[in-house]
Chains A and B, each alone.
Chain A
Amino acid sequence: MDIDNIIENIGLYVHIPFCRSKCRYCGFYSRPVEDYDVERLIAAVITELDNCNCIGSIQTVYIGGGSPSCLPEKSLLRLIEYIYNRWKNIEEFTIECNPGQVNIEVLRKARKLGVSRISIGAQSFDHAELEFLGRTHNVGDITNAVTQAKNAGFDNISIDLIFAIPGSTILSWRQNLMRAIKLGVPHISAYSLSYEDGTILKQQRDAGLFAPVDEETDRAMYELTEELLEQAGFEHYEISNFARPSFRCKHNMRYWQNKPYIGVGPAAASCTGNQRTKNIADIDKYIQAVETNGTTAQETINLSAADIASETAVLNLRTADGINIEDYRQRHNLDICNVFAGPIERHCSLGLIAREKNNIRLTKNALPIADSILCDFIID
């Protein structure tokens, strides 16, 4: 991330590129934690943070990965403390934790150092599914992690779940959802299993080693998720995200609002002004770059006004609020109803887009097939 003098309020993402073991479906950049000098990486991340001249305030922080929870206590707390000392007005500070890697003492300390939200990679309440995914924790670890987080003083807790895992059924997914609701957390992200390039899972699927869940079931599971979670008092506020009132993830909302953020650490992405950059996705090269005062960016893309306006439209439409017509006009100097008149009309007539007084948003029917609609919101 090579940005000077950011004045606006921004989000900060820190990528911890380590994991204890690799999950079979995972497409993130992460390496075995035991193979690296972790302290040196954390030092580099802090240096990268030092180098960024953020004059404005950091509004949200998200330490993700990888698995931040697999870091030695000392390293993790050092990073948290740096952020805590440097920026005062952080509204939301999330750390991702893997079940089985949660230590109540560390959580207590983190809470004291400003961390306000814990996101737990639960994924499933079914042993066989956890095994299929290549997760190393068990079902008990999930409940345990939630309890410890609560005991450490966190009320803003999120869990991640995955559905449409081969072998799962509507019934097994219903059980999963009920278990999740019973945990009493205010935020749930539920993702349909995706087969990312370069993952073992995808290779195995392509080799025909197992049959993916069919589309019809996948859709039914998605609809069930919405039904059960809404009944339980959650709002469906983004395609894969559900929250109790006032527990939406502020950091992630920034992404969908297309607001600026900076990312530090290997493979982290930043979006500022009209630039999107991505850091070097290689721990050693990243460390070397930081230590020699070189650039950490591996890729920088300059966006045209049309690109940015397209991104705003596409990202906004993923949320329940959709595109606010007035905000869009002010920000991009474009009348959304004009620029996308054709797609809006077509999708409205198919009941896929709702055109309200102030907003344009996807309908419930549209969410499961959102991409087929979003692609029409790109300006050439």
Chain B
Amino acid sequence: MDVKHIRNFSIIAHIDHGKSTLADRMLQITGTVDSRQFKDQILDDMDLERERGITIKASAVMMKYDYNGETYMLNLIDTPGHVDFHYEVSRALAACEGAILVVDATQGVEAQTVANTYLAIESGAEILPVLNKIDLPSAQPDATAEEIEHILGMKKNYCFKISAKTGIGVKELLDAVCELLPPPADRSGEPVAALIFDSHFDEYRGVICYVRIFAGKLTVKQKIKLIGSGKIYQILELGKFGPKMTPVSELGTGEVGYVIANIKGLSDITIGDTITDAVQPAEKPIPGYKKPMQMVFADFYPGDDTDYSKLRKAFEKLSLNDSSFSFFPQNSPALGFGFRCGFLGLLHIDIIQERLERENDIDVVQTAPTVSYEIVTTDGAVKKIDSPSELPDVTQIKELREPFVTLEIITHTDSIGGIMKLAENRRCTLIKTDYISQTRVMLEYKAPLAEIVYDFYDQLKGISRGYATMDYKFTGFEESDLVKIDILVNKTAVDALTLIVHRSNSEARGRKIITKLRKAIPRHQFEIPLQVAIGGKIIARETIKSFRKDVTAKLYGGDVTRKMKLLKKQKEGKKRMKSIGSVQIPQKAFMSILDTSD
């Protein structure tokens, strides 16, 4: 098809503002999906995503649409809406010329509206602002349009008013996509250059690359080269998403589709790499986008040591479909053999953990998530530290650096006080306050990632009674006055409980941790001392008293079966805990160290 009739775009929105509903409506109106067999929210194909109401992986769909007597090919590239997945939003946008920005007119601009808009602006996409849910009586399209103008700098008169649910305005929006969004540049005469913007792994066909052709064309059987890796493959199948994968013989400039080329594993490709012809390669790769940095780490250990290889297989499988998840073997003196895993953020951990439990029958012990640190050693070398226990002795450290982010919070003005207090407690510095409207405000902070990584979001939601939204973006590592806290259980330092924190609140944190641990570790047959050590000095101590009574008073003939069952359960319970020395520590205790609530 002539590039003039191709439009590649994404829909970006804050969670629940109606992105998926709008996508569904478009699919219906363009007849891409038969109304009768219409299953709501086609694009979110994994159960998990449906349940959590978030889209994790970008996917794509091609729609045919007639406008002004001409047929257009509209490629919609889906984006995730959550904080942790900025990078996936960027890579979807990199394949587009335009973006539809959906804002729920009953809610107004939210934190991810802002964050996603910035990403779209950075990618150079043309943005069509859309006010959604105008069918609802509580919709305030004019006020929302004001916010869009004020905070995002777009003209309020150009906002489309739609209801993704009822379909009002959606046809007009599709017309605008054809009319207002730019077509791809016509570079059909050049050597082929196709951007890999996503991929997934199929057990039978290997890696399936999602591509956007920027120049030239791809044909079946063509020998291709990945510019980044230099690897050469032969195309076995090409196709488009309609929305099912439909084979075609070629993909031309401006088009979006998939490539299957006998690529064995996801580790063989890099998202963002450029596919070109092996014989007549393009000179330059398509400018990609930054690889996401894994900023949050947590250890996973099999609950039962014999499950180690089962756990490894499960992680291998998970990483096949999620290139932003990584894992490497880890050996903890306390917890034995396990894996240290890297994630984009906390939601990402939750998702991985749920998949792990759902798809594999493995009990895992997960340690509290921590962030990466950077150290400058006395000999001047800069090293990244992904685990507090990797931290060398203080005498070898010249400088300790922790990751900082820019944090944007949008909230109602009446919760500003509470939020500012929370932020202050978490070492955040206010950079900017921006009134979006009379009742809503955007706060911009510089924040240490470590402080917002665990329960910040929950607390924020609590303080603002659910109103506040947040988003953050990594800015860099900076020097910080950090110390290592060691926790000793029954006089033994437990590496999995080691933590790096800011000196200013290290003592308070240490105390809080052992208070939490005292509640999380069940009483034993003996007394267990819990101690906090900072720089080798014990600064706090608590004791878990031994239990005093645990016996069935009456056990006669009729009670044996039931009692044996209960004892068996008691034994299983012990087994599910990690034993460190003679102390049995339940899994949740390893998470309790980051819980800063009272």
Contact = CB atoms under 8 A, between A and B. Distances in A.
Interface of A: 11, 13, 191-194, 215-216, 218-219, 222, 239-240, 252, 255-256, 261, 263, 267-271, 276, 278, 301, 307, 310-311, 314-315, 318, 346, 350, 352, 367-376, 378
B568 interface: yes
Interface string B501-526: 00000000000000000000000011
B555 A318 contact: yes
A193 to B, nearest CB: 8
Contacts of A191: 553-554
5 contacts: A240-B554, A255-B560, A269-B557, A301-B561, A373-B525
A194 B525 CA distance: 21
Contacts of A270: 557
Contacts of B558: 263, 267-269, 278
B556 A370 contact: no
Interface string B541-563: 00000011111111111101101
Nearest to A369: B550
The 6 lowest CB-CB distance pairs between A and B, nearest first, are: A269-B558, A191-B553, A375-B570, A219-B548, A375-B567, A370-B551
B561 A350 contact: no
Contacts of B550: 368-372
B36 interface: no
B465 interface: no
Given A276-B560, A367-B551, A370-B552, 19 more contacts: A191-B554, A194-B553, A216-B548, A252-B556, A255-B555, A255-B560, A256-B555, A269-B561, A270-B557, A271-B557, A278-B558, A314-B564, A368-B548, A371-B552, A371-B566, A372-B525, A375-B571, A375-B574, A378-B564
Nearest to B568: A378
B553 A378 contact: no
Nearest to B575: A380
Given A194-B553, A367-B551, A378-B571, A310 B564 contact: yes
A278 B525 contact: no
Nearest to A164: B549
A13 B557 contact: yes
A314 B547 contact: no
A378 B558 CA distance: 19
B249 interface: no
Contacts of B552: 194, 239, 370-371
Interface residues of B, number: 25
Contact of A376 (B553, B555, B566, B571): B571
B526 A350 contact: yes
B554 A372 contact: no
B563 to A, nearest CB: 8
In this complex, the member of B526, B548, B557, B570 whose beta carbon has the largest number of chain A beta carbons within 10 angstroms is B557
A344 to B, nearest CB: 14
A222 B550 CA distance: 12
Contact of B582 (A269, A346, A370): A346
A374 B560 CA distance: 13
A347 to B, nearest CB: 8
B191 to A, nearest CB: 65
Nearest to A28: B558
Nearest to A370: B551
Contact of B549 (A218, A255, A307, A350): A218
A261 B554 CA distance: 18
Contacts of A255: 555-557, 560
A123 to B, nearest CB: 13
